[in-house]
Each structure stands twice: as structure tokens, then as C-alpha cells.
Amino acid sequence: MRKILLPMLMAGVVSFAGCDDFLSEYSQDKIVAKKVQDLDELLLGDGYLQSSAIASGPSITNPAGFFNIIDDDSNTGRDIDTLSERSTFVGKAWVQSLIGMYGYFGWQQDVGTNYDGTVVSDDAATWDKLYKHINVVNVMLNEIKDLPHATDKDLADFYRVQGEAHFIRAQMYFTLVNLYANMYEESNCETKLGVPLKLTPNVEFKFKRASIKAIYDQIIDDLTKAEDFLTKSPQNSAHYLHRASVEAVDVLFSRVYLYMQKWDLAAEKAQKVMKSQNFYLASLSSLGPNATYLTSENSDVIFSQGSNNLSSTYVFTGRPGDYCVSKDLYDLYDDKDRRKSCFFGTYNNDSLSMVHCDSIMLKGKYERGNSLRAHVSDCFTLRVSEAYLNRMEALAMMGGEHEAEANDLLNKFRAERIDGYVAQNYTGEELVNQIRTERRKELCFEGHRWFDLRRYAVCEKYPYTKPLVHVYNVCNDYGWKYPYTLVLPPNDPSYTFAIPKSVIDFFTDGSMPTNPRYKRDPLEGKKK
């Protein structure tokens, strides 16, 4: 636990205490930062989340490795009909991925266990990783103010490094508070527990969960500083996909305000991105069915950090027992919508008589390859498209005279994606619902849907809830045994994750209370 919440004292990486006296004691395993550029290197190496090749798909040990298998956009392929068909798929890599992720996929009380109670892994990977990066940023922000920056270049780097650091901390805390705390509601955010708030590099042993309001206040403060610093020292004209820019800050800013239901501020920040000269809404008019949508060359992609857990061809194949795209999502797309043929495909194996089943695979939304180090993350990506959708929703929620612009933006957005699209006129709640649907279609498998469902449930003007249904096929070394059908009802406590067990166990005095989650029994589980 100590490694989670204490500052990072990494061998050979960072320490910012030194002495000029030859006879004085000093650390032999730490490097002293003498100029801003040293911190810039630390920022790249340990500040941002690093990408990695993901061969087995969603993972309990990879940060955010579960984001895209917990909502209604994902499911598993149907049960296999015959014993011979079952044995065909035993031992595949993607089967093991399912086993390890059952606790998340099935919204279990203990996400680190399999369906039979077997302990698969602990549940602290995301918590640990995000706090580690927060602590790196805390050290950097504490040390940079004492470093020289007299030259124009040093001054520019001085501003830019601080801007990027504040952005990283904001994104990490925003993710943590929306995983491990209730949604932001103005009426109770001061009393509801958020997550521990640590802003110093000092070694500390006492922590408690700050209020949701305190976390959001800090996020806004960090983004405000990030925007200011990056305005003073913007990125070079050559775009750095994996480094924050003013546009990245403003997209995240608009999302934060959207979650807070501060519609005017969300719309304002989104519009700044839409007016950018560096990024623009990409047209899909020339996008072929075999194209890859989200690449580093896409003008729509502003920023990305971390791995892509969906990049492997082993997962989301649509094969029996593997993850698949839910039919509920797939049916939302018009046949003339270019995203439908680009994003998705079908697993069609006549020898297994699976033509009739729901077997929708994830195909071309991301670069996919079993050893691929994908450029665009499935969880920590910011796009111009999101800015458009954020502004649409905010304007529609504001209502009145703002509805006309929201409707126009929606029509413009769809016209870039749907061949022969005919403009529509929506108002009121129907306009909001259409925008929410478009958001789901555009941002699917980018780590949005779970959090969108959470915030829709507490929306003051147009609340929305629905039950989520997942089917999990139980298997062993000899074949499939039976399917579980699990349901997550609206407003269930399991929409909020429990504080990791290792964290709770560390604070034996009870100062770190967890979030309640129901023990969940399957609706079906008959042996075949």
C-alpha cells in the first residue's frame, strides 16, 4: 500500500535532493534534476501512462484494462451447441482472458475472483498505477519551481512541463473519482466520499477519502493551470499525439463540466476545441470497410496515453465464448453509416453452424495485431468528436434558443458519417436522446459508456437508466459447462467500484471506508 500513496522514490530515476559538499552523505541510486529538461525526460518516462503491446486483451493487471467490458456495448458470444464444438475452442488465449475478467464483466462484489470463487488477482492495478503517476507529478511540480529558466527556451519548457504535469494529475484524479466514488451531484458532493487527495511529494502515512467536491475542485484547479501554462508555451506546430496540448486540456475540461452538469461551461470549453486550427472533425466519406479509424494520422485525435487493451486480434472476435460487440449497440447504426462496416464485422464459421448467432466482432476502430503497440489508447484518448458531442449535449440541456445550434451540430456530425443523410429536426428530450445515441455510436469502446450511464442516472433534467445484461460462458479444460446470465439493475451500488482490498487492509483503523457492492447471483446457470 505504501507504494500507492507515498511519493515515488525510484532508483535511477528521480530524487531532487543533492549536496555540493564532497564529504557529505548522498544517495547513489538517485539522479538530481539540475534543469527543466531533466524533468521533461521524467515526464515522458514516468509522468504519462506508457503504451505496451497487449496480446491477451482486457486484463485485471493492466490499468483501465476493464473499462470496455463492463457496459452495455460488450457481451460474450452465445453458448456452443454441441460437445464437439465446445472442445474446439478450449485452451484459446481469449478464453483465459474471459476467466480472468469475470469479476469485472459480471459486476461482482469481489472483482478479483472467478465465477467459482477462485482468486484470480487483486483489484489494485488501476488504483496503484494512477496514484503512482500522481505522485511522480507531485514530485515534479514541487521541484520545478527551483530550477533555472533564464533563457527563452528554458522558460518555454518551464511553462510547458508544468502544464503537462497539471493535465496528467487532473486526468488521473478524474478517472479515480469516477471509478471509486459516486457521480458528482451538486446537492451532496460536499458530503459524499471521493478518493484520497495527495498533492505533496512528502512521505505521509495518514490518508482519508476527500469529498467528491474537493476532488473536482482540484481537477478544475489543475486544468486551469494546465491551460494557462500551455497557452504560454504551446506544443510545436508538429503535433505530439502523446503529449498534452491546450486542445487536450479543453476537451477534458468540457467533459468534467459535462459530468458536473455545468452546461454553459462545458459548451464554452468544447467550442474552443472546435475552433482549433490544429485539429478538425474528420470526414468519413472516403472511409472504406477495411480501413482503420483511430490512428495517429487521424486529424480528429488530439491526445492519447496508455495502452490499448482491445488491440489484440485474440479478443472481441465474436467467436463463441469470446467477447463480442453487443447487438444492442450494433443495431443502432444505419446500414449507410460508414462506421458500421469499419468498426465491426461478424465471425462466420459455417463448420460450427454459428451463422445464426450474435457474433459481432470489433474490427477496424483501432489498429489490431497480437504484438501491436497501438498508438491510440482505448481509455485515455481525447478527440475533436468528443468536443462536438459535449457541446451538442450541453446546448440541448440548456434548452430554449440553444436547441437550434445543438440540432444543427448533430446534423453536421451525422452528415460526415452517414451516406445520404437527411437532416432532422429534434427538440427537447428527443434531441437529448438523439445526441446520447450518437455519443454512444461514435465513442464506443473508448472508455466512455460506463461513465456516461452513471452520469445519465443522476441527470437533473433528463435522467436515464437501463438494466445491463451480460452472458458469461463457464468453461474448463474439457469444454463449456453452462452460461451465466447476469443483470446489473439501474442505480445498483456496483456502478461504483469498491476501494481495493489492499488499500482497505492497510488502513486497519477504519479511516479508509470502502463502497458497498452487492453479492450477485446469476439468473441462469444450468449444466448442459
Per-residue pLDDT of the chain (528 residues; tens, 9 = 90+): 334 343 333 323 333 333 333 233 444 455 678 899 999 999 999 999 998 887 778 888 888 999 999 999 999 876 555 444 545 554 454 566 788 899 999 999 999 988 888 887 888 999 999 999 999 999 999 999 999 999 999 999 999 999 999 999 999 999 999 999 999 999 999 999 999 999 998 877 678 999 999 999 999 999 999 999 999 998 776 678 999 999 999 999 999 999 999 999 999 999 999 999 999 998 887 787 788 999 999 999 999 999 999 998 888 988 777 899 999 999 999 999 999 999 998 875 544 444 444 679 999 999 998 888 889 999 999 999 999 999 999 999 999 999 999 999 999 999 999 999 999 999 999 999 999 999 999 999 999 999 999 999 999 999 999 999 998 877 765 556 777 889 999 999 999 999 999 999 988 888 899 999 998 888 876 544
> Within a domain: residue 15?
yes
> What is residue 250's predicted lDDT score, i.e. its pLDDT?
98
Structural domain count, the chain: 1
> What is residue 28's predicted lDDT score, i.e. its pLDDT?
42
CA gap 174, 257 in Å, rounded: 11
> Within a domain: residue 13?
yes
CATH number of the domain that residue 256 is part of:
1.25.40.390
Tell me the residue range of the domain where 45 lies: 2-51+126-262
Residue position matching grid coordinates 459530468: 259
> What is residue 501's predicted lDDT score, i.e. its pLDDT?
92
CA gap 6, 161 in Å, rounded: 22
CA 41 vs. chain centroid, Å, equals 25
CA gap 105, 111 in Å, rounded: 9
> What is residue 477's predicted lDDT score, i.e. its pLDDT?
59
Whether residue 316 contacts residue 322, with contact meaning beta carbons closer than 8 Å, is answered with yes
Whether residue 281 contacts residue 388, with contact meaning beta carbons closer than 8 Å, is answered with yes
> What is residue 20's predicted lDDT score, i.e. its pLDDT?
37
> What is residue 78's predicted lDDT score, i.e. its pLDDT?
62
343 closest CA partner among 305, 385, 304, 287: 287
CA gap 178, 184 in Å, rounded: 8
227 closest CA partner among 250, 256, 204: 250
Q: How many residues does the chain have?
A: 528
Please give the torsion angle defined by the CA atoms of residues 387, 291, 440 and 391, in that order, rounded to the nearest 10 degrees.
10
> What is residue 99's predicted lDDT score, i.e. its pLDDT?
81
CA 121 vs. chain centroid, Å, equals 21
CA gap 217, 269 in Å, rounded: 17
> Within a domain: residue 416?
no
> Within a domain: residue 133?
yes
CA 268 vs. chain centroid, Å, equals 23
> Within a domain: residue 496?
no
> What is residue 288's predicted lDDT score, i.e. its pLDDT?
78
> Within a domain: residue 72?
no
Cell (9 digits) for 80: 456452443
Cα distances from 271 to residues 72, 259, 411, 472, in angstroms, run: 29, 17, 17, 42
> Within a domain: residue 244?
yes
> What is residue 503's predicted lDDT score, i.e. its pLDDT?
93
> What is residue 483's predicted lDDT score, i.e. its pLDDT?
78
> What is residue 16's predicted lDDT score, i.e. its pLDDT?
35
Cα distances from 138 to residues 28, 202, 217, 458, in angstroms, run: 22, 9, 17, 32
> Within a domain: residue 231?
yes
Cell (9 digits) for 412: 453536421
Supply the pTM of this predicted model: 0.91
